[in-house]
Amino acid sequence: MDPLTAAMRIAGSGLDAQSNRLRVVSENIANSQSTSRVAGGDPYQRKTISFGAELDRAAGVNLIKANQVGLDYSEFPIEFDPGNSAANDLGYVKMPNVNVLVEMADMREANRSYEANLQVVKQVRDLVSMTIELMRPS
């Protein structure tokens, strides 16, 4: 495979992976206050995502692939809120183990990685255009 085309494909897989990460982050942020539907039940559990290199045998390059979305098994913080429908007998509610600040940092990192991959795509496209430009009469 043409190296420039391969570079374009790799950057494309990077864009895909980072958009998946952003999806997980948005799920966590949106559900950062989601409590259980039943009294004393578990609230929304934070989701995590990890990435792995994946060999594309046809092109002979390492693409990036998002691994399966996992769960964060850390403790749920407890709040005293007797009016909540998810409160247990003593009036305590389990809140999701989502730290919005952590999610924000993760989102920023996903954003930066996405931008870096976009830059690669742009660069490759410019190089290919310039190479084709060679054939044009000046």
Partner 1 sequence: MIDPITAAALGVPSLTTDPARASAITSTQTAAANGAGSFADVLAQVGETTIDKLNTAEAAAIGGIRGDTGPREVAEAVMSAEQSLQIAIAVRDKVVSAYLEISRMAI
Binding site for partner 1 (CB under 8 A): 2-4, 8, 12, 15-16, 19, 125, 128-129, 131-137
Cβ-based nearer residue to partner 1, 89 or 133: 133
Distance in Å, CB of 121 to partner 1, minimum: 8
Pairing of strands 70-71, 47-48: antiparallel
Distance in Å, CB of 29 to partner 1, minimum: 21
Cβ-based nearer residue to partner 1, 95 or 110: 110
Cβ-based nearer residue to partner 1, 83 or 137: 137
Give CA–CA dist 19/110, Å, rounded: 8
Cβ-based nearer residue to partner 1, 7 or 98: 7
Distance in Å, CB of 86 to partner 1, minimum: 35
Distance in Å, CB of 67 to partner 1, minimum: 20
